[in-house]
A = this chain, B = another copy of it.
């Protein structure tokens, strides 16, 4: 299969590229290093020094004999994206090319407009490049569970059957997100659904929860193949932040009451999910939506798990509640469905104490590089 990965330098993009290339697919990655640039500008760089994409691919080829083709370019520039899609003629495009930080998107006008333009334009361009060059191509779009927000009813898998005054209608599940970043993903979904209906595109939208994990099968071959591990308040998710705080000997910073509950998954399961989606494309004119996570936890539960895993390594881990920089419910109903990917064959890696302890061990190898100043919240929601 010819696979084009937009945002192939990212936390998920790079492991995805290695994963498909390792099983023999023809993989091309595109990236413009937007995340690396923002991370540097906001003092939020990754814990390990990840080599640039060209070097990553060279190391990967040395280690495995498999090639990955690299294009440095901006998917928000139509001519760039069109040219690549027209040249590569992919069977599947995996779209990760979005500014991925919620706090960054809430910082101010400049950060908001960058997020809005980059994310919406890259999706719009992708749709049109597919319409104009490869109308049979399967688009796999990374959405987020955050699109749904935290409604007081069960979150179904993408769609909601509504019965109202004795009549019935199936709707795209109503979305109501908590940051501009997440809202751009809501808009992406609206836009994809429109073009699926009018131009018969084939689209899989993966509504993914926060991903944790420091390694994949390929990254174990060479530290230079590690995924980008962000542990700061801008790009780091709560699991990463807690793990680094545990290693640093500072209390885990729980935002507010800590009852905020989300669906999480291991990086290895993201790779499984994307592969399962790629290997079973939807029909033309179908928008297929999966809720992509394996377990749900509150922030307090994650903190307790990190504390417990720390004990295995003789780390004393303290918890501390701090004022919540976000506008979000701190205690809420949360019951999202997630059957589709399990039905396709997903075999989850769960967040056991051993898994967390292994992550702690890897992080401790890089303890010298930790900058604890980067972990406290620097962005407030209004």
Contact = CB atoms under 8 A, between A and B. Distances in A.
B327 A198 contact: yes
A323 to B, nearest CB: 17
Contact of A162 (B117, B162, B190, B197): B162
A234 to B, nearest CB: 18
A174 to B, nearest CB: 4
A379 interface: no
Interface string A86-123: 00000000000000000000100100110011001100
Given A160-B162, A191-B183, A167 B78 contact: no
Is the interface on chain A under 10, 10 to 19, 20 to 34, or 35 or more residues? 35 or more
Contacts of A366: none
A113 B121 CA distance: 9
Interface string A331-375: 001000000000000000000000000000000000000000000
B128 A167 contact: no
A151 interface: yes
Contacts of A180: 194
Contacts of A198: 106, 327, 381-382
A339 to B, nearest CB: 15
B151 A128 contact: no
A378 interface: no
A169 B153 contact: yes
Contacts of A112: 124, 128
A376 interface: no
